[in-house]
Amino acid sequence: MMLTLAAGALAAAADLTPALRARLSAASPADRVLCWVGFSDKGAARGLPALPARAVERRRRAGRALGYGDLPVDPAYAAAVAAAGATVRYASAWLNAVSVSATPAALAAIARLPFVAEIDALPVYRTAVDRAAWLRSPGKQAPALDYGSAAEQIRLMRIDELHRMGYTGSGVRLAFLDSGFDREHEALQRARIVAERDFQRMVRPLDQYGDPDTTRWRPDSVTAYEQGQDTSRVQTWHGTGMLSIAGAYKAGSLIGSAYNADFILGKTEHVHSLTEADFQREEDWFVAGLEWAADTAGADIISSSLGYRQWRDSADYAYADMNGAAARCTRAADSAAARGVLVLNSMGNIGDAAVRNGRPDTCILAPADGQGVLAVGGVWPGSRAWAYPPVGTTGSGPAAGPAADSVRYGPDSVMIRRIKPDVSSSWQNYYAYNEPDPLTAPAPRAPRP
């Protein structure tokens, strides 16, 4: 009865998305639901944020001065949401929203606040990719060539020609949002890291702060494996590989495409373990990483190989939702692009089941559907053919577009205005491979006094 009353009160107040309604229908009164609370305005006028010189100059080049969308969330609005019983996890200036953890009753109170426009579920992602197959990686042995095993993927994009002309990434700040990074790898010893932050850092019960609240968010600067936080050293595997494709430098073994760049590292993807069915990727971590990389760390380019379409706790995105406006992660990525950042995102992976069933051409994943996002697909480096696994085989392949809003139907034809991907590179890459530990989780660390 309590849950019915709370849901009824919500329905009469702020706009609720279908995903949140579904989640509330399955929640108990004591459950804490993860949500985005969107505000109708920015509240009382306040000063614009002071940005680093690099971010100001990047915006100047893009013709995008600081404006209304950069004003921070009104602290009074966030305080009112917290006073209603929610724990505020993150406040996004770009989305004019706060990410919260709250009970249904607290959400009912929040929905009645006059400045709350919308409450949306913060979804939990599930992957269709067989992560155990990631263990089958090419070895570290490489022929004694300048680029080593990376020669074919470098030449596919004609990066070797750019290197000969002196374009090696020097003076460019390149940010990666991923699972974590092993900076001790032999191919990354030369990489210059200028900023890093762990956005998935959640306080553990009875930790060094003496605070039992596990929903409070205190990002730290450790993007490597952290015992007590990460289930396994697999946590840093994917991010290390992505960083190395651009930033590695080990002559005769592996040289990246932008090895002289300044790198910014954001740890936003939580890998539980290879024995579990899902990854849990929190959308607010991704949004926070975008805003921090652009407006605090001064990134010129933000690259991510994450993709969202299937949720394990709410309805999957339909193809119609891949329109550049439905997913909050897409809206945040477009916000970064509008502020002069070059945003690159993979089209996503399509797993074994989709391949066996005949993968559709409209399997693009958010945020690659963004208007301002440079979506990257995958081809075989030798033939340059689309990397679709042969029928009857297992494996995965790159997702394809187009974005849903680009398709227009005529009386006897179909017109596509926006092609996705925007560019394609090597689907199978050589990269820095940091050997993961066994699939069993390490023994938990004793809590600090």
pLDDT digits (tens, 9 = 90+) for 125-143: 666 555 555 444 444 333 3
Q: Residue 19 and residue 9: Cα distance in Å, rounded? A: 17
Strand partners, 265: 176, 196
Least confident of 189-203, 359-373, 407-421: 407-421
Region 196-207 average pLDDT: 66
Q: Residue 100 and residue 97: Cα distance in Å, rounded? A: 10
User: What CATH number does domain 131-426 carry, 1.10.150.170, 3.40.50.200, 3.30.1510.10, 1.10.10.60?
Assistant: 3.40.50.200
| pLDDT level of residue 105 (50, 70, 90 thresholds) | very high
**Could you tell me if 39 and 96 are in contact, meaning their C-beta atoms sit under 8 angstroms apart?**
yes
Q: Residue 183 and residue 85: Cα distance in Å, rounded? A: 40
Q: Determine what percent of the chain is predicted with pLDDT higher than 70.
A: 75
Which tens digit of pLDDT belongs to each residue from 244-259?
Answer: 999 999 988 899 999 9
**Could you tell me if 344 and 376 are in contact, meaning their C-beta atoms sit under 8 angstroms apart?**
yes
**Could you tell me if 17 and 118 are in contact, meaning their C-beta atoms sit under 8 angstroms apart?**
yes
Q: What is the DSSP string of 411-423?
A: SS-EEESS-S-SE
Q: Count other Cβ atoms within 10 Å, centred on residue 406.
A: 18
Which tens digit of pLDDT belongs to each residue from 373-397?
Answer: 999 999 888 888 888 766 566 667 7
Which tens digit of pLDDT belongs to each residue from 1-15?
Answer: 334 434 444 445 678
β-sheet with 342-346: strand ranges across: 192-198, 262-267, 173-178, 301-304, 342-346, 373-379, 423-426
pLDDT of residue 117: 95
**In this model, does residue 353 exceed pLDDT 70?**
no
Q: What angle do CA 174, 175, 176 make, to 5 degrees?
A: 125
**In this model, does residue 304 exceed pLDDT 90?**
yes
Assess if CATH 3.30.110.70 describes domain 2-121: no
Domain ranges in the chain are 2-121, 131-426
Mean pLDDT score across all residues of the chain: 81
3-state secondary structure 67-123: CHHHCCCCHHHHHHHHHCCCEEEEEECCCCEEEEEECHHHHHHHHCCCCEEEEEECC
| pLDDT level of residue 311 (50, 70, 90 thresholds) | low
Residue 194 has φ and ψ, to the nearest 5°, of: -105, -15
